[in-house]
Chain A
Amino acid sequence: MAPSVVDAPSPPVGLYVHFPFCVSICPYCDFVVLAGSDTLGPRNRIASYVDAVLTELDLRADVVDERFGRPGRTAGRRAPLASLYLGGGTPSLLAPDDLAGIVERVRRRFGLADGAEVTVEANPGPDERGDVFLQRDAGISRISFGAQSFNAAELGQLGRRHSPGDVADAVDAARAAGIGSINIDLLYDVPGQSLASWTDSLERAIALGPDHVSLYALVLDDPDAEGLTGPSGDHLPTSAGARRWRERARVAQDDDRAAAMYHFAVHRLTEAGFHGYELSNWARPGHESRHNLAYWERRPVEAVGPGAHAFDGLDRRWTAARLDGYIAALRPADHAVPPSLPPGGVEPRLDPTAAAAEALILGLRLEAGVPLLAFLEPPFDETLAWADAAGLVEQTTDGRVRFTTNGRLLSNEVFARLI
């Protein structure tokens, strides 16, 4: 699949719905999340949020209809979505009716193709993962479990609420319900993690027989310093506690150890029948995340919810992270006022060279790589020559360029030269 540099806007192939609630907040997490009384108890805001999301889905669908026609299979209609992704937060906390309501609204307004991939992210804990049978009935075809580790001490350190055994129970239940595609997320370069605990976590994940494994290096950024947490920013400010946790954790990270963990995982997952189709993602054949592939292939994806990002093939826009403004726009207190799209912003449009660089950067994340010809275009040719000499890329027999394993680990060195 070639990364397609789309010059003109086109209808979305996928849709992302953000669910910004968790039971508790993990100190390393940068995503837009609320917890505590916003999530649990009599004053929780989930119901009003679900209402707002349903309204946003309608308003976004109106815009898409206006631009590209209504969904359908006949001429003049746009193609239905190939994927729907409910991320968070902990969207497995959604009540079955609410989950079904959202999937149904998406199907009605955007269309869902036959066999569309419908993913929900879930925490493995018994009080967080939801009823997988009802999730299946709501139309969920894929579940992504945030396992992160199978070591109890590491889970505690990361602020996770579940135990290693919960992951096995959660995967078993999903299998029993007939969920067709199961992913397990793991984190490496975690403070206190050893090569031994890493190989053990990886073995235990493989032993559960997942269809897909995502391995993410723990990267502790600072969204405040990046200027992302203002009133219309796409991130919420980092709490003082999380900031302190990150400062301590950064000191305990180790690039060499992390590289060794990655090299081991590449070897072990390949042996276990997975192929690493992206820098951080491994799948059994046919179980690649279609939704995420759309991002890396630079296809248009629609998005709703606070902090969500959408791309229409030309422009990228985001919705502001703060829930008050989000709900106020979509559910005006004054019933005489019609709902309006929530606050957010549009990124400056990229010039063709910058867009081509972005396509290369996203495409190089994939095992399929990018067409050699695209990489030979100036100004990218110099980076290709440099990366080739440094052993970071290799050429395939079908005229494409992709990362070697070392290149994957040092991908930023290449990306920073392309951008």
Chain B
Amino acid sequence: MTIPQDRLRNFSIIAHIDHGKSTLADRLLEFTHTIEARQMHSQVLDSMDLEREKGITIKARAVRLDYPARDGKTYGLNLIDTPGHVDFSYEVSRSLQACEGAILVVDAAQGIEAQTLANVHLALRENLTIIPVLNKIDLPSAQPDLVMDELENVLAIPREEVILASAKEGRGIEDILEAIVARIPPPKGDPAAPLKGLIFDSHYDAYKGVVVHVRLAAGTLHAHDTIRLMASGVESELLELGVFRPQLVPVKELRAGEVGYVATGLKSVRDAQVGDTVTDASRPATTPLPGYQEAKSLVFAGIYPISGEDYPLLREALEKLHLNDASFTYEPESSVALGFGFRCGFLGLLHMEIVQERLEREFSLELIASAPSVEYRVVLTLGRGTVNVDNPALMPNAGEIEAIEEPWVRVGVITPSQYIGALMDLSTGHRGTFVGMEYLDPQRVLITFEMPLAELIVDYYDQLKSRSQGYASMDYEEAGYRAAPLVKLDVLVAGEPVDALSLIVHRDNAQSIGRRLTAALKELIPRQMFEVPIQAAIGSNVVARETVRALRKNVLAKCYGGDITRKRKLLEKQKEGKQRMKRIGSVEIPQDAFLAVLRMDEG
């Protein structure tokens, strides 16, 4: 069972979305008999329904493979899976820190994409050995020579290092395993030294409490040790330790260089934060390992229960989900329109969508999310300092504002060259500026833009995909704050401001956004007993106005015979509909209306 340190290999698989990372992981599991083919279902490591449905990995996962290599020795391989979407580069970097090597999967038909570049840069930053794999060579459209040229030109990867594979057909799998053994160095670390283990992930188990995923840098951990978490200072007698196969399998000890799990018995995730160092309480290490930077939220939104009485359930659900996904933040907030809820911060829009869906599915909640916002820096007048605002409703009055700064991002777009013009238009239309362009090969270019993050999160990604017929890919990184003439656009329904609909927009766009927003709301707010004006205003200056005409008729069909029960049920449905609406002054507004901001037509 115990494999000496020089026969351990810790590695990740990195890839652009859809290049076949999860399928390759499946094949590695099968080939090493970690999972027998008959128990195999595709994307084994993507255990959430949501992951299988969306075909993306959301949560990193670890698994231990035992591989009898051609040299006759059995090696212990720890595969740490990584998410493939641009929102989750934070999770990727965490996984990479627990490894010595990475398999870089590139689609032989598609070539290098934006995430390929981003992930390679992350891996190089961690000094990892990279094993390049060209996947999907079975496809008729595969162009391995062209893609190897790209790898050589763009990433300086020599073509003789590249392994040709088809995860789908099981080709090249053994070559990859051999390369892992031969090229990736074994982990270092003295098993006899004081214990140091890096927590790179955690999950919550109803019976075992907080289960942390650790990579041991030094020392040896035994089944009945008392551990101490160095940052929080909390001590706990551990309940169980083991490895991922991929289900949790207990072992008696874990040694320096190994990857496994520790069931801490702790009930609060705050006591066992990702990035903390685990040590032995009886013989503690003197210094912790360098931890992680905290995940930085880029996108913020209010999350509210549709029914106000679900607020305590939502709080509980957020706490539990946070145990499994420490990369979002939440704090209580309240809105006149939506009642009590939470201001949440996310890594990106997809992350926001996933957290909301997980809350709804795993905790049976009905939720409404306000329009996503970025975090603004507001410089106040009279030298009163700077405040950060991630909720447009809380923006100070115009008179108190000296300047507003907004976060910018540097966006890398890889596209076939015929879409350059369309993507230039798209980016400048989103207040973006062109930074540079580089040809990856004669047909494909990497274009770099800078633009406000707020513009990126509205619909940039969807538009990028649709204007390039799905061929362009993108990645982005933060690029600091810049001042801009931004204004707060308020929405008034029947004269009452609706806080949940306030937006921060560029002054030049305020009127057109106001028009689109009021037009969308006009379609979403049902006719009431009286005429309802909908206005968009900057301060007291109304920039757009629509009117929902008064309701004139709401009658049921002939109340015939004994069909009274049916009418009653139809009326009860109308009543339920009314109860689900939010009242602003005397106007009943359906939940949908609060999503109007997301539904504004282009234009």
Contact = CB atoms under 8 A, between A and B. Distances in A.
A binds B: yes
Interface residues of A, number: 47
Contacts of A198: none
A316 B561 contact: no
**Interface class of chain B by DSSP:** loop
A296 B559 contact: yes
Interface in B70-129: none
A191 B135 CA distance: 59
A409 B553 CA distance: 5
A226 interface: yes
A226 B562 contact: no
A301 B570 contact: no
Contacts of A417: 575, 578
B554 A413 contact: yes
A308 B560 CA distance: 10
Interface string A350-386: 0000000010011001000000000000000000000
B384 interface: no
B41 interface: no
A72 to B, nearest CB: 26
B557 to A, nearest CB: 4
A279 interface: yes
A337 interface: no
Given A221-B570, A416-B575, A419-B572, A358 B555 contact: no
Contact of A412 (B527, B549, B555): B555
Interface in B519-537: 527, 529
B552 A255 contact: yes
A415 to B, nearest CB: 5
Given A308-B562, A316-B565, A412 B552 contact: no
A87 B568 contact: no
A214 interface: yes
B564 A295 contact: yes
Given A295-B564, A316-B565, A413-B529, A262 B553 contact: yes
A309 B554 contact: no
B574 interface: yes
A311 interface: yes
Given A416-B571, A416-B578, A419-B572, A409 B562 contact: no
A296 B569 CA distance: 17
Given A413-B551, A417-B575, A419-B575, A316 B557 contact: no
B445 to A, nearest CB: 47
Contacts of A301: 561-562
Contacts of B554: 255, 409-413
B555 A316 contact: no
A84 interface: no
A412 B572 CA distance: 10
Given A16-B561, A308-B561, A217 B555 contact: yes
Interface string A300-315: 0101000011110000
Contacts of A295: 559, 561-562, 564
B566 A415 contact: no
B552 A259 contact: yes
Nearest to A319: B562
Interface in B544-603: 549, 551-566, 568-572, 574-575, 578
B571 A259 contact: no
Interface in A245-269: 255-256, 258-259, 262
B561 A309 contact: yes
Contacts of A228: 566
B555 to A, nearest CB: 6
A318 B564 CA distance: 11
A259 B555 CA distance: 10
Contacts of B560: 31, 87
A216 interface: yes
A411 B555 contact: yes
B564 A280 contact: no
A104 B571 CA distance: 39
A310 B563 CA distance: 9
B562 A255 contact: no
Nearest to A386: B529
Given A262-B553, A415-B571, A318 B562 contact: yes
Contacts of A16: 561-562
A308 B558 CA distance: 15
- Chain A CB count within 10 A is highest, among B553, B563, B574, for B553
Contacts of A262: 553
Contacts of B566: 226, 228, 234
A207 B553 CA distance: 28
B555 A279 contact: yes
Contacts of B561: 16, 85, 87, 295, 301, 303, 308-309
Contacts of B551: 255, 410, 413
Contacts of A410: 529, 551-555
Interface in A286-341: 295-296, 301, 303, 308-311, 316, 318
B562 A412 contact: no
Contacts of A362: 559, 564
A256 B549 contact: yes
A398 interface: no
Contact of B574 (A234, A258, A409, A412): A412
A296 B562 CA distance: 10
A310 B568 CA distance: 15
Contacts of B568: 358, 361, 419
Nearest to B575: A416
A1 B217 CA distance: 89
Interface of B: 527, 529, 549, 551-566, 568-572, 574-575, 578
Task: Name the 5 nearest CB pairs between A and B, nearest first.
Answer: A309-B562, A219-B557, A259-B552, A416-B574, A412-B554
26 contacts: A85-B561, A216-B558, A217-B555, A219-B555, A226-B566, A234-B563, A255-B554, A258-B552, A258-B553, A259-B553, A280-B559, A295-B562, A308-B562, A309-B565, A311-B564, A316-B562, A347-B565, A361-B568, A409-B553, A410-B551, A410-B552, A410-B553, A412-B556, A412-B571, A419-B571, A419-B572
